[in-house]
């Protein structure tokens, strides 16, 4: 089957992670990708290039020479998409910048993924992943101690999020091009993208700020029903019992229901499990000896799908043995020309009509030159627009019904609304959505209450479906069938609809029916064991990255399906899961081959890979120092004022530097390091990032007033699209407040509305 982007030509100038990953995603979804390699190959020498460069044609070009620049320009003139992630201004100096490229090819979508945005005062900074992460608040100290040491995350979260958001934005721009006939520039900086990672904790939607309590390692902050337990084989499971019903189901299974019920342990509100610290030792004391009676895999197999828990596995185990990963092609086997047979991360999106696939292994350097010359030798043919009319947003005219609850599912709808879709969020009149999460995930949407089980409820729902382009869900297949809103039933009413489902583990495979929350995606893919290196048990990542990321991946599936439908008229089923996205985040490490040595860095005590990629403390706080190449970094350090007499050959250079840096304020050192071209930035908290004047001036951090009258601050959309700019969502209305207006506009009689239990 052809991919959703079949027939498109992408020119990939990207290096390191963000740019190459975006282009690789497009290649997996059917685009033809020409990667421009510098002489000698990619600037980053890594096994992960087998992942990042797969499915692409390689052409070696020295862009400092006139002849090679001319060939690159000819390729750009025939391209649908250009991807680059250099510092702002680099491509302009080469004659390949966005303005010049779009002037030569007005149908081009030109995507830039710089470290800091082109109009950010920090645009010229050497924006290594560490530098951006420090600036955006991605390195919080353990337990959020005010003077604590920052924990350096070895996952390139800012780069991966920029790639995902960039992919969404490029496909949205391609959808818009089908209507307007013209392309546009897209910019997603890594710094801006990082705000999506911290969104649930940066948003201030209630009087009490949220913090990721599962990063608190003191032992008293996690509820006992969302915690780790050791099993008979010394391996760990992580519970995901946030609703309370799983605790009761477990008690019935192990025969302790009557005893625990008599002690008053059931029916306790979820909020009390989080807030009442006295409950934790009581419940843990009951659960610990029970889990020690069986192995971790036995507990996972026996208790699911009723009780949400999963075994904590390593990345290597996930790549080699996980049947769920193979069933979804989230782990794939690829014969790489350099490494031989590899097992590597596959796809974060599932689609039934246009499934992603690995078209080919990465090529040897310059193996695609003949194909590149063939492309530039062909005359460029004009592309006719379907309807040449202007758009305000890329998804103007698209209607989305969003039935999702909690975090991940509603995030997908929020993203589609920011691209211009009319999103109607449907909640049950007795729903349990909390105010704080509703205000974060449902901004920019209309909101109605509808009881599908009440008389007339389904009739009202079908009236809305008849006018919809997308139905976004996150309930299980069994629940959808029980309610009568499964895909086949919905398609009888709207045959060309895009039916989207976000889940914990994906639509097929042995864990397809398992439910769960943020925790489960992190357990099975090795993420928790990676982050917990050196700790007594696996450790959660400090942010709800799977919830946010799965929302973005699901939105990508919807956008790809809408683009395919725009060209063919065909709808399809799409989806993503917490597990699929958790694998994508670990891209640099998600590869197994016969020479692979599993000694990846990580852990909650990790502060840096070497002396030139490390966090250090000035006499008033922490900052990150990051040089891409070690030897170049050492040479640059020797030129920094105050370090010019440093013995860079010292066996403990980190200690030497730590002593020097402790003598001056961090701002002094950051300034001196930047003057020598070394990437550096103060380590900021989430609050400091949200207060950053540039972020506030550019709408990345927005002050809002909610309809109820209280003030707040929320993250604005990171992408910048020049022709169809993002639409910052209006503050979320109270649940159900648009019911009468929406149903009246849809032609639903008032009496039918009352019967449906929607008011």
Confidence class for position 217, pLDDT limits 50, 70, 90: very low
Confidence class for position 734, pLDDT limits 50, 70, 90: confident
Q: Is pLDDT of 295 > 90?
A: yes
- CA–CA dist 396, 201 (Å, integer): 30
Q: Between 77 and 735, where is the model more confident?
A: 77
CA 731 to each of CA 54, 165, 686, 734: distance values in angstroms, whole numbers, following the listed order: 41, 22, 21, 10
Q: What is the pLDDT of residue 633?
A: 87
Q: Between 141 and 78, where is the model more confident?
A: 78
Confirm if 136 and 689 have CB atoms less than 8 A apart: yes
SS3 449: strand
- CA–CA dist 698, 681 (Å, integer): 20
Confirm if 87 and 128 have CB atoms less than 8 A apart: no
Q: What is the pLDDT of residue 672?
A: 96
Q: What is the pLDDT of residue 219?
A: 43
Helix (H) or strand (E) holding 280: helix 279-291
Confirm if 311 and 296 have CB atoms less than 8 A apart: yes
Average pLDDT, the chain: 90
DSSP letters spanning 330-379: SEEEEEETTTEEEEEE--S-EESSS-----SPPPPTTTTHHHHHHHHHSP
Average the pLDDT over 724-728 and give the result: 94
Q: Between 49 and 713, where is the model more confident?
A: 49
SS3 205: coil
Residue percentage of the chain with pLDDT more than 90: 72
pLDDT in tens, 2-61: 899 999 999 999 999 999 999 999 999 999 999 999 999 999 999 999 999 999 999 999
pLDDT in tens, 142-163: 766 767 899 999 999 999 999 9
Q: What is the pLDDT of residue 488?
A: 93
Q: What is the pLDDT of residue 147?
A: 75
Q: Is pLDDT of 215 > 50?
A: no
Q: What is the pLDDT of residue 325?
A: 95
CA 103 to each of CA 97, 100, 113: distance values in angstroms, whole numbers, following the listed order: 10, 5, 20
Strand partners, 204: 713
Residue percentage of the chain with pLDDT more than 70: 93
Confidence class for position 441, pLDDT limits 50, 70, 90: confident
- CA–CA dist 730, 51 (Å, integer): 39
Report CA dihedral (538, 306, 448, 461) to the nearest 10 degrees. 140
Q: Between 246 and 53, where is the model more confident?
A: 53
Report CA dihedral (619, 624, 627, 632) to the nearest 10 degrees. 10
Pairing mode, strands 236-239 and 228-230: antiparallel
Query: Domain extents for the chain?
Result: 1-112+155-196+717-728, 223-305, 397-584+730-755, 608-683
Of 264-278, 302-316, 512-526, 698-712, where does mean pLDDT reach its minimum? 264-278
Q: What is the pLDDT of residue 12?
A: 98
Fold of 397-584+730-755: Rossmann fold (3.40.50)
Greatest pairwise CA separation for the chain in angstroms: 83
- DSSP for residue 508: S
Q: Between 622 and 276, where is the model more confident?
A: 622
Of 275-279, 337-341, 612-616, where does mean pLDDT reach its minimum? 275-279
- Report phi then psi at 273, rounded to 5: -60, -35
Confidence class for position 315, pLDDT limits 50, 70, 90: very high
Q: Is pLDDT of 102 > 70?
A: yes
Per DSSP, helices labelled H in 500-652 are 518-524, 527-531, 545-568, 578-585, 630-637
Confirm if 174 and 125 have CB atoms less than 8 A apart: no
Strands (E), 594-683: 608-610, 613-618, 621-626, 679-682
Q: Between 373 and 706, where is the model more confident?
A: 373
Q: Is pLDDT of 695 > 50?
A: yes
pLDDT in tens, 460-516: 999 999 999 999 999 888 888 888 899 999 999 999 999 999 999 999 999 999 988
Which of 235, 157, 159 has its CA nearest to residue 523? 235
Confirm if 359 and 27 have CB atoms less than 8 A apart: yes
- CA–CA dist 477, 483 (Å, integer): 10
Which of 553, 625, 747 has its CA nearest to residue 130? 625
Q: Per this entry, what is the length of the chain?
A: 759
- CA–CA dist 405, 472 (Å, integer): 10
Q: Which CATH superfamily is domain 608-683 in?
A: formyl-coa transferase, domain 3 (3.30.1540.10)
Q: Is pLDDT of 739 > 90?
A: no
Q: What is the pLDDT of residue 124?
A: 94
pTM of the model: 0.95
CA 184 to each of CA 307, 331, 424, 560, 565: distance values in angstroms, whole numbers, following the listed order: 48, 34, 28, 18, 21
**Residue 305, preceding peptide bond in cis (omega within 30° of 0):** yes
Confidence class for position 216, pLDDT limits 50, 70, 90: very low
Confidence class for position 244, pLDDT limits 50, 70, 90: confident
Residue 308 has, within 13 A of its CA and on its CB side, a CA count of: 24
Select from 3.40.50.300, 3.40.50.150, 3.40.50.10540, 1.10.287.3510 the CATH code of 1-112+155-196+717-728: 3.40.50.10540
Confidence class for position 759, pLDDT limits 50, 70, 90: very low
Q: What is the pLDDT of residue 650?
A: 82
Can you tell me which residue has the tokens 């985040």?
A: 585
Q: What is the pLDDT of residue 477?
A: 84
Confidence class for position 384, pLDDT limits 50, 70, 90: low
Q: Which CATH class is domain 223-305?
A: alpha beta
1-112+155-196+717-728 and 397-584+730-755 agree in CATH topology: yes
Burial of 707 (0-12, 13-18, 19+ CB in 10 A): exposed
Q: Is pLDDT of 748 > 80?
A: no
pLDDT in tens, 558-609: 999 999 999 999 999 999 999 999 999 999 999 999 999 999 988 989 999 9
Structure tokens at 171: 């496909």
Confidence class for position 631, pLDDT limits 50, 70, 90: confident
Q: What is the pLDDT of residue 746?
A: 78
- DSSP for residue 509: S
Q: What is the pLDDT of residue 407?
A: 87
Burial of 21 (0-12, 13-18, 19+ CB in 10 A): buried
Strands (E), 369-411: 399-402
């Amino acid at each position: 089957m052809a991919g959703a982007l079949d027939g498109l030509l992408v020119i990939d100038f990207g290096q390191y992670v963000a740019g190459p990953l975006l282009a690789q995603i497009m290649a997996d979804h059917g685009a033809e990708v020409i990667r421009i390699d510098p002489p000698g190959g990619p600037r980053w020498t890594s096994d992960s290039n087998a992942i990042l460069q797969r499915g692409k044609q390689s052409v070696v070009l020295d862009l400092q020479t006139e002849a090679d620049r001319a060939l690159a320009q000819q390729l750009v003139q025939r391209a649908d998409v250009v991807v680059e992630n250099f510092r702002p201004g680099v491509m302009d100096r080469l004659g390949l910048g966005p303005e010049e490229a779009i002037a030569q090819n007005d149908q081009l979508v030109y995507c830039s993924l710089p470290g800091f945005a082109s109009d950010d005062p920090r645009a010229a900074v050497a924006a290594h992943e560490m530098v951006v992460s420090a600036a955006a608040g991605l390195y919080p100290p353990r337990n959020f101690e005010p003077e604590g040491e920052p924990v350096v995350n070895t996952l390139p979260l800012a780069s991966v999020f920029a790639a995902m958001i960039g992919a969404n934005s490029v496909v949205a721009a391609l959808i818009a091009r089908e209507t307007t006939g013209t392309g546009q520039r897209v910019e997603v900086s890594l710094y801006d993208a990082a705000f999506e990672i911290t969104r649930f904790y940066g948003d201030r939607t209630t009087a009490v700020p949220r913090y990721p309590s599962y990063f608190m390692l003191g032992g008293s902050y996690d509820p006992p029903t969302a915690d780790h337990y050791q099993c008979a084989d010394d391996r760990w499971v992580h519970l995901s019992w946030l609703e309370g019903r799983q605790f009761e189901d477990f008690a019935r299974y192990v025969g302790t229901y009557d005893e625990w019920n008599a002690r008053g342990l059931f029916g306790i509100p979820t909020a009390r499990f989080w807030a009442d610290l006295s409950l934790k030792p009581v419940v843990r004391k009951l659960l610990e000896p029970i889990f020690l009676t069986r192995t971790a895999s036995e507990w996972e197999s026996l208790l699911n799908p009723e009780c949400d828990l999963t075994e904590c596995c390593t990345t290597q185990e996930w790549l080699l043995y996980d049947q769920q990963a193979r069933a979804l092609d989230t782990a794939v086997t690829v014969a790489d020309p350099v490494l031989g047979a590899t097992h590597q991360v596959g796809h974060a999106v599932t689609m039934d009509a246009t499934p992603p696939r690995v078209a080919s292994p990465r090529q040897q350097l310059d193996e695609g030159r003949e194909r590149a010359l063939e492309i530039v030798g062909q005359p460029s043919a004009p592309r006719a627009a379907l309807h040449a009319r202007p758009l305000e947003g890329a998804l103007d005219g698209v209607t989305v019904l969003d039935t999702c609850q909690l975090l991940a599912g509603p995030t997908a709808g929020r993203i589609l609304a920011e691209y211009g879709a009319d999103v109607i969020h449907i909640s049950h009149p007795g729903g349990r959505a909390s105010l704080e999460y509703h205000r974060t995930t449902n901004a920019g949407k209309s909101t109605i209450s509808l009881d599908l089980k009440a008389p007339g409820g389904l009739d009202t729902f079908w009236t809305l479906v008849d006018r919809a382009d997308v139905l976004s869900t996150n309930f299980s297949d069994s629940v959808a069938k029980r309610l009568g809103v499964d895909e086949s039933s919905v398609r009888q009413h709207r045959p060309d609809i895009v039916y989207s489902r976000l889940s914990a583990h994906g639509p097929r495979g042995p864990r397809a029916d398992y439910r769960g929350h943020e925790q489960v995606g992190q357990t099975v893919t090795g993420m928790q064991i990676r982050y917990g290196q050196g700790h007594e048990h696996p450790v959660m990542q400090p942010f709800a990255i799977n919830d946010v990321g799965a929302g973005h991946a699901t939105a990508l599936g919807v956008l790809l399906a809408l683009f395919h439908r725009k060209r063919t008229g065909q709808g399809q089923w799409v989806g993503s899961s917490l597990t699929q996205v958790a694998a994508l985040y670990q891209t640099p490490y998600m590869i197994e081959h016969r020479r692979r040595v599993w000694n990846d860095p990580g852990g909650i005590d990790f502060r840096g890979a070497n002396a030139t990629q490390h966090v250090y403390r000035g006499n008033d706080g922490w900052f990150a120092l990051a040089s891409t190449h070690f030897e170049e970094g050492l040479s640059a350090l020797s030129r920094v004022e105050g370090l010019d007499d440093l013995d860079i050959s010292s066996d403990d250079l980190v200690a030497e530097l730590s002593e020097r840096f402790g003598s001056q304020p961090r701002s002094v050192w950051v300034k001196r390091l930047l003057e020598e071209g070394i990437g550096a930035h103060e380590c900021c908290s989430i609050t400091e990032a949200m207060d950053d004047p540039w972020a506030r001036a550019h709408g990345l951090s927005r002050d809002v007033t909610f309809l109820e009258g209280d003030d707040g601050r929320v993250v604005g959309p990171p992408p910048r699209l020049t022709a169809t700019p993002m639409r910052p969502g209006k503050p979320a209305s109270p649940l159900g407040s648009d019911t009468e207006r929406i149903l009246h506009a849809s032609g639903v009689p008032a009496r039918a509305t009352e019967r449906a239990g929607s008011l």
